[in-house]
């Protein structure tokens, strides 16, 4: 009984972290004030690191190693992103490039196996492809920031849709 209560608490915490990540990540992409953007992106990153770490442990315990590895890589990528959050957009580009490369790998690890429903997996794979393009372009020398359009800006909704799918899965697992 105690183990089940702890698992439910961790699932709720992971849901909260994913929701904070989605909400504050998108909000940070839409505000003009640099200090507000940094604060929103810091909340986003911390929520996602916590959620992804919990999910990595959960899927590892279930014996789903590829998915667990994906969440672990996602937590690392988000931690790298967090390191550039307090910088200017231009100064954050190296951390952003590394983070998007790790996001891409993580999303493929979590979304290629048939663990999540199809729409979640497709959103994650689309985000992975878009963020791989962003990382490759930055590493190739293209001048992109976290707010550049069309990419990476239009990749974020696919990422947030993936978070929504993960949340739905967690909520179904509770019932």
pLDDT in tens, 57-69: 999 999 999 999 9
pLDDT digits (tens, 9 = 90+) for 156-165: 999 999 999 9
**3-state secondary structure (DSSP) of residue 64:** coil
Q: Write the pLDDT tens digit of every residue in 16-45.
A: 999 999 999 999 999 999 999 999 999 999
User: What is the rounded CA–CA span in Å between residue 72 and residue 66?
Assistant: 10
- Sequence-ordered list of residues with C-beta below 8 angstroms from that of 141, at least 6 positions apart, any chain: none
Q: Are 52 and 78 in contact (CB under 8 A)?
A: yes
Q: Is the pLDDT of residue 5 over 70?
A: no
The answer for residues whose C-beta is within 8 angstroms of residue 126's C-beta and 6 or more apart is 158
Query: How many angstroms separate the CA atoms of 88 and 128, rounded?
Result: 25
- Mean local confidence (pLDDT), 126-131: 98
CB atoms within 10 A of CB 138: 21
Q: Are the CB atoms for 57 and 38 separated by under 8 Å?
A: no
Tell me what percent of the chain is helix, strand and coil, each rounded to the nearest 5. 80, 0, 20
Distance (Å, whole) CA 100 – CA 86: 17
Query: The tokens of 72 are what?
Result: 């672990």
Domain range holding 129? Answer: 2-174
Per-residue pLDDT at 2:
58
- Number of domains the chain is built from: 1
Task: Assess whether pLDDT exceeds 70 at residue 94.
Answer: yes
């Amino acid at each position: 009984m105690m183990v089940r209560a702890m698992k439910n608490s961790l699932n709720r915490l992971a849901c909260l972290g994913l929701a904070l990540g989605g909400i504050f990540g998108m909000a940070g992409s839409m505000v003009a004030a640099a200090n507000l953007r940094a604060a929103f992106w810091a909340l986003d990153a911390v929520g996602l690191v916590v959620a992804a770490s919990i999910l990595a442990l959960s899927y590892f315990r279930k014996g789903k190693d590829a998915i667990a590895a994906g969440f672990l890589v996602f937590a690392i990528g988000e931690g790298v992103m967090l390191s550039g959050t307090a910088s200017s957009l231009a100064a954050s580009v190296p951390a952003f490039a590394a983070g998007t490369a790790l996001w891409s790998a993580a999303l493929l690890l979590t979304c290629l196996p048939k663990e999540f429903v199809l729409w979640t997996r497709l959103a994650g794979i689309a985000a992975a492809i878009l963020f791989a393009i962003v990382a490759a372009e930055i590493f190739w020398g293209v001048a992109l920031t976290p707010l550049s359009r069309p990419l990476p800006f239009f990749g974020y909704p696919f990422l947030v849709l993936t978070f929504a799918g993960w949340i739905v899965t967690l909520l179904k697992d509770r019932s």
